[in-house]
Structure 1
């Protein structure tokens, strides 16, 4: 799968790659995480560089696997002496699946059942930081390309966005604090962009949430910077 990914990026012949693709896509279903991740990265490369290579197998073969992987968690505890650390071995797979969804929305929107993707997007907004940031970017992109699909799902976005905005800063300083502020700002940016989508503010839940957010003094400086970006 890695070799094919590199071949795709190197503009290999579509005809030659198409012959091998059905067999390679079976790797998306194997249990070994490294193999699945390599297969996902191959799909991402194909969607990005040669979308025509996958056009016929997205809906029936690839998208169902992406939906499954987007919700996959494989957490384990690692003993680090005085404390334990939780590692999620499925995180790289979830990140890869969200990258594929994002690229499909841009390059192959017809290959996706976008309403069925909305619960995946809402769940991503409540995931770990890296996945949340991907979800924020997808919302911003969809507000330009597929805004009507965001409106029916808007209520499901409110709670995870608000939770991120109110992340406790605690004793964080330096780069840790900077990173947290960027995370919060990303959620604020997504909310701001959503507020501009026609029909979104008809949702009482979103309108109340966004009203609270705008009135909150601690967010006003960030919102001011976000408004200046437009």
Structure 2
């Protein structure tokens, strides 16, 4: 209805967003659809009123509502990028951590997977937005990594020239920080909470994306140092690094061979770990999935030419072959063919 008669219905929609906090999320969804569906020419007279309303809600405590405000701002910026992108940059300096995270998320929504008029302007200023990777606030750094990941995935040309300055900050966020780990009491139990986990996951997701889109800009040995650390991290991060390792084994086998002895140990630890008796079913399932993913990475490493020169790899291959449990997992990730890991199959041991 609003798209069919903007002058009648858009002011009503904007008023409702301000005066109906309980319906605000649904109303912002409606506004997002209006911005997405309208031609730029018909929306132009209303840009200022929409922009000022959205900025009033940029520090909303509800993350879901804040993300919707950010999406509206990003889509609105596409209507008149030359005028509105500099304003977004100004908001970075003006606001609280919540406002900064909202601005960075808005920029993410201006990065689309097809050529757009905003691209040239974005390329000139995306470095300013990526400086939020050095922000003091943990959540601002997390959304900055999410925005960087979106750029690397949808439009890598925007960030290729910035890799030398951005990668040190990205790699810093892959480190486990003990000061962000705390213990919480839940009744009779003590539960460990890692406040840095979401930021680390976002950093490793960026690394995974860069393998596909910006491989030529990476120092592979330095990259592998951080992959190696990820192999010992939380379940979600280990699952990602197993995939990265398999990809690196095919993309740059020589570099992987240089690091092979250090990479084998965490893989071996994952493949041989048993869940404590009495653990819940979910723990058994997670450990089984970790072992299967680690074994897929091992299979990819065994396919690398000259891998048989590594004594530690030869020892591990022999351990898999002689252990019925590990041999079964190896066989299943290989598609059940061949009946095991013999010298004539996956690696030349002659």
- Distance in 2 (CA, whole Å) between partners of 1:42 and 1:36 is 10
1:33 aligned residue (129, 135, 138): 138
Equivalence map 1:3-152=2 (5 Å): 3-9=106-112, 11=114, 12=116, 13-59=118-164, 61-73=165-177, 74-152=180-258
- Distance in 2 (CA, whole Å) between partners of 1:181 and 1:6 is 37
Aligned to 1:164: 270
- Distance in 2 (CA, whole Å) between partners of 1:10 and 1:223 is 38
- Distance in 2 (CA, whole Å) between partners of 1:212 and 1:194 is 15
Aligned to 1:214: 321
Q: CA deviation at 1:173?
A: 5.0
- Distance in 2 (CA, whole Å) between partners of 1:79 and 1:171 is 22
SS at match of 2:191: strand
SS at match of 2:111: helix
SS at match of 1:7: coil
Aligned to 1:184: 291
Q: CA deviation at 1:81?
A: 2.2
Judge conservation of contact 2:231–2:237 (CA < 8 Å) in 1.
yes
User: Structure 1: any 5+ residue segments left out of the alignment?
Assistant: none
SS at match of 1:85: strand
Which is further off, 38-47 or 195-204?
195-204
Task: Report the structure number with the largest CA radius of gyration.
Answer: 2
Normalising by the residue count of structure 1, what TM-score does the alignment of the two structures yield?
Answer: 0.93
Q: CA deviation at 1:19?
A: 3.0
SS at match of 2:259: helix
Q: Which runs of 4+ in 1 moved over 4 A?
A: none
SS at match of 2:192: strand
**Count of residue pairs the alignment pairs up:** 229
- Distance in 1 (CA, whole Å) between partners of 2:242 and 2:105 is 28
Q: CA deviation at 1:125?
A: 0.7
SS at match of 1:9: coil
Q: CA deviation at 1:159?
A: 1.3
User: Structure 2: any 5+ residue segments left out of the alignment?
Assistant: 1-103, 338-350
Residues 12-39 of structure 1: per-residue CA shift (max 9 Å, x gap): 5211212331211110001211100000
